């Protein structure tokens, strides 16, 4: 079957709202409808003859061969895939691709029906962000910390390596909050969060777990000495003087450390050990890592 016949068969989809893209067996665009023009930004005249890879996101693997192979083998391919608009904006489509057969029943091309799901994907991503992020500081929240801690524990068990968990409590934060009010308190929490994230590595998880308490998960940790070095960075990052109504208020932190496997083999045990160590640091007068 020649390209003209493929085009004629594709005309039935001209007024379908979804984007319809017809390709030959080499993955070159043979035809597409008005829906495809709206979705991708190219006119039919501009698109026909181009490889379908022009619709794929640059710097990501070209999945054309994978999709066509699945269509030939299974009679259909369905999935969600990133797309690139003519103006290079990135979106998401839900796609179903089926084979086109010639008069002898042999594959001669493929027809894809694509629906824009970019808004849905972004809404889902936003829901995940809201569920896993502290709204004040933008840091991971307690729930996300626990999820990452579970994953880190499983990897450490398989690979037989150490990791550390640090609990951080701000010393005398209540006094700052009482004297300056919640606006000052919130500003201090945001500044501390930013400084902690800046002081530590990108691969470490810095989380706000509630009130004036933070936590740090160090996945790549050689042992207690390494964890104490991170604890010292935390103390330095938090330490500051805050002026409220002409009076200086000193802010420091108490840090408690738990190291796997020496301090426990379960998430609950490690959490408890880090919490107890933090309170021991507090009994020493604060500005201490235990």
- Exposed, middle or buried by CB within 10 Å (0-12, 13-18, 19+), for 127? exposed
Per-residue pLDDT of the chain (290 residues; tens, 9 = 90+): 556 665 555 566 666 789 999 999 899 999 999 999 999 999 999 999 999 999 999 888 888 888 888 888 889 999 999 999 999 999 999 999 999 888 888 888 899 999 999 999 999 999 999 999 999 999 999 999 999 999 999 999 999 999 999 999 999 999 998 888 999 999 999 999 999 999 999 999 999 999 999 999 999 899 999 999 999 999 999 999 888 887 888 999 999 999 999 999 999 999 999 999 999 999 999 999 99
Q: Which residues contact 66 (CB under 8 A, 6 or more apart)?
A: none
Give pTM, 2 decimals: 0.76
pLDDT for res 96: 96
Give the CA angle between residues 121, 217, 219 to the nearest 5°. 90
* d(C-alpha 154, C-alpha 176), whole Å: 40
Helix ranges (DSSP H) in 25-141:
34-40, 44-47, 64-74, 118-132
Q: How far apart are CA 195 and CA 199, in angstroms?
A: 6
Q: Which of 107, 124, 119, 139 is nearest to 206 (CA)?
A: 139
What is the distance between the alpha carbons of residues 61 and 96, in angstroms, rounded to a whole number?
19
Residue 1 CA to its chain's centroid (Å): 45
- Supply the pLDDT for residue 73: 87
pLDDT at 64: 82
Please give the C-alpha separations between residue 77 and each of 5, 69, 82, 228, 259, in angstroms, as whole numbers. 23, 9, 15, 52, 47
What architecture (CATH level 2) is domain 133-289? 2-Layer Sandwich (3.30)
Q: Which residues are catalytic?
A: 212
Contacts of 183 (CB under 8 A, 6+ apart): none
> For position 227, what pLDDT does the model report?
97
Domain ranges (residues) in the chain: 3-122, 133-289
Place of tokens 């070209």: 62
Q: Of 181, 153, 177, 183, whose CA–CA distance to 165 is shortest?
A: 153
Give the pLDDT confidence score for residue 208 in this predicted structure. Answer: 98
What's the distance, Cα to Cα, between the start and end of the chain in Å?
A: 76
CATH topology of domain 3-122: Beta-Lactamase (3.30.450)
Half-sphere exposure of 50 (CA within 13 A, CB side): 15
- Classified as helix, coil or strand, 110 is strand
Mapping DSSP to helix (H, G, I), strand (E, B) and coil, where does residue 236 land? helix
92 touches 80 (CB < 8 A)? yes
Yes or no: say if 206 and 189 are a contact pair by the CB < 8 Å rule. Answer: no
């Amino acid at each position: 079957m020649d390209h003209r016949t493929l085009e004629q068969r594709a005309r039935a989809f001209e007024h379908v709202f979804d984007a319809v893209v017809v390709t030959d067996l080499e993955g070159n665009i043979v035809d597409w409808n008005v829906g495809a023009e709206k979705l991708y930004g190219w006119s039919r005249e501009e698109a026909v003859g181009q490889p379908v890879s022009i619709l794929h996101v640059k710097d990501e693997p070209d999945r054309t061969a994978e999709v066509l192979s699945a269509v030939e083998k299974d009679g259909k391919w369905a999935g969600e895939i990133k797309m690139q608009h003519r103006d290079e904006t990135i979106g998401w489509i839900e796609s179903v691709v089926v084979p086109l057969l010639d008069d002898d029943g042999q594959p001669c091309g493929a027809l894809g029906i694509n629906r824009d799901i970019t808004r849905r994907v972004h809404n889902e991503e936003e829901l995940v962000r809201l569920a896993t992020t502290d709204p004040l500081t933008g840091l991971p929240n307690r729930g996300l910390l626990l999820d990452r801690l579970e994953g880190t524990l499983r990897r450490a068990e398989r690979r037989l390596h150490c990791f550390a968990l640090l609990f951080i409590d701000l010393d005398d934060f209540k006094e700052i909050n009482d004297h300056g009010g919640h606006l000052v308190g919130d500003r201090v929490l945001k500044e501390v969060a930013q400084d902690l994230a800046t002081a530590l590595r990108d691969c470490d998880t810095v989380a706000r777990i509630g009130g004036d308490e933070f936590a740090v998960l160090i996945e790549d940790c050689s042992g207690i000495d390494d964890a104490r070095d991170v604890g010292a960075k935390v103390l330095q990052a938090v330490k500051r003087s805050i002026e409220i109504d002409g009076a200086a208020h000193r802010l420091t932190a108490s840090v408690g450390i738990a190291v796997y496997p020496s301090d426990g083999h379960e998430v609950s045990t490690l959490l408890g050990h880090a919490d107890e160590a933090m309170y021991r640091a507090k009994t020493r007068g604060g500005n201490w890592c235990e």
